[in-house]
Amino acid sequence: MNSITNQHFTGERALFKAQSQMIDGCIFDDGESPLKESHDINVTNTVFGWRYPLWYSDHVRVSDSTFLADVRAGLWYANDVELRDCSYAGPKGIRKCHNVRIERVNFTNAEETLWWNDDVELVDVVAKGDYLLQGSRNVRVRNLQLDGKYSFDGCENVVVEDSRLITKDAFWNCENVTVRNSFIVAEYVGWNSRNLTFENCTIQSLQGFCYIDHLTMRNCRLINTDLAFEYCSDIDIELSAPIVSVKNPYDGRIVAPRIGEIIFDDPAVDPTKTTITETEKNPCPCICRVA
């Protein structure tokens, strides 16, 4: 590889179609698309300060570097991308990419970031912004600290572990999602989705987990969660803490220490198709409303 060190690049397409380059200690600003159509690039200790730096690039490694707030749409249509130990302040980053690895990166403005990617891995990532990871497929996440609404919308084949998600309307329109050992605060979780599994999670929601086909929960705590499971089919729920209320599940089983209120008020829903069990020896009397 050739080396480029300690240089300040300005102007559009400053290193257009760069190949087999090691770039260290450089600054790219005041010019769009500096590394467009590049491949086999290793970038370290570098500052990106303007739009579209890495589009249509292949085999890119960026570490110990900074993407400033003016880096809108920083990486699009790229293949085999790795970001490590970076600070990323621009919105709409990393879209329509394939084979993306992100580790120890802080996204301070993650608005509309990581959309429509395939094969994505996030490890030890901090992100603040709405609509993270919309429409992405084959996603693996470990220790994501997220503060932003509407996350994981329309995703397929997702595994999330050891994470803290402060979000809203999370995991809507999804298919094949597993979440383990995580803490989630989200008003509406999982609506209009298929094949969702939550294991050893603590979740606070308002009317969460509705309109889901095949929902599994194991050893989960649903704190302050009411009107859950409405119009869900094929549910298999085992909770380790009381739940405020359950409403109109289509079929399956629910096991919880205590349920404050069980509501069946839709004549189209047959209450006998759902088995509901409270496990506390002397549970408080629940309210059961059947239409």
Domain assignment present for residue 269? The answer is: yes
Q: How far apart are CA 19 and CA 211, in angstroms?
A: 49
**For residue 18, is pLDDT > 60?**
yes
66's tokens: 């900074």
Dihedral, CA atoms, 275, 280, 284, 290, nearest 10 degrees? 0
What range defines the domain where residue 257 resides?
Answer: 52-290
Task: For residue 33, tell me if it sits in a domain.
Answer: no
Are the C-beta atoms of residues 54 and 72 closer than 8 Å to each other? Answer: no
Would you say residue 28 lies in a domain? no
Over residues 193-252, the pLDDT tens digits come to 999 999 999 999 999 999 999 999 999 999 999 999 999 999 999 999 999 999 999 999
Locate 207 and state its tokens.
Answer: 């009317």
Task: Please give the backbone phi and psi of residue 273, each rounded to the nearest 5 degrees, phi first.
Answer: -85, -5
DSSP 223-281: ET--SBTTT-EEEEEEESS-EEEEE---SEEEEES-EEEEEE--TTS-GGGEEEEE-SS
> What is the phi/psi pair of residue 22, to 5°?
-105, 120
127 CB-near residues (< 8 Å, 6+ apart): 106, 107, 110, 113, 144, 145, 146, 147, 148
Structural domain count of the chain: 1
pLDDT over threshold 60, residue 188: yes
Model's pTM, two decimal places?
A: 0.95
Q: Kind of pairing, strands 39-44 and 19-24?
A: parallel
In a domain, residue 283? The reply is yes
Rounded to an integer, the average pLDDT of 77-88 is: 98
CA 123 to the chain's CA centroid = 12
Residues 252-263 pLDDT 10s: 999 999 999 999
Q: Is pLDDT above 70 for 283?
A: no
User: For position 239, what pLDDT does the model report?
Assistant: 98
Q: 57 lies in a domain? A: yes
Cα separation, 270 vs 273, in Å, equals 6
Q: How confident is the model at residue 1 (pLDDT cuts 50, 70, 90)?
A: confident
Q: CA 29 to CA 219: how far, in whole Å? A: 50
User: How far apart, in whole angstroms, are the C-alpha atoms of residue 131 and residue 152?
Assistant: 7
Residue 253 lies in a domain: yes
Question: What pLDDT does residue 290 have?
Answer: 73
Asked whether residue 2 is domain-assigned, the answer is no
pLDDT for residue 286: 61
Whether pLDDT at 287 is above 80: no
pLDDT tens, 20-49? Answer: 999 999 999 999 999 999 999 999 999 999
Tell me whether residue 17 is in a domain: no
Task: Say how many CA atoms lie within 13 Å of 119 toward its Cβ.
Answer: 9
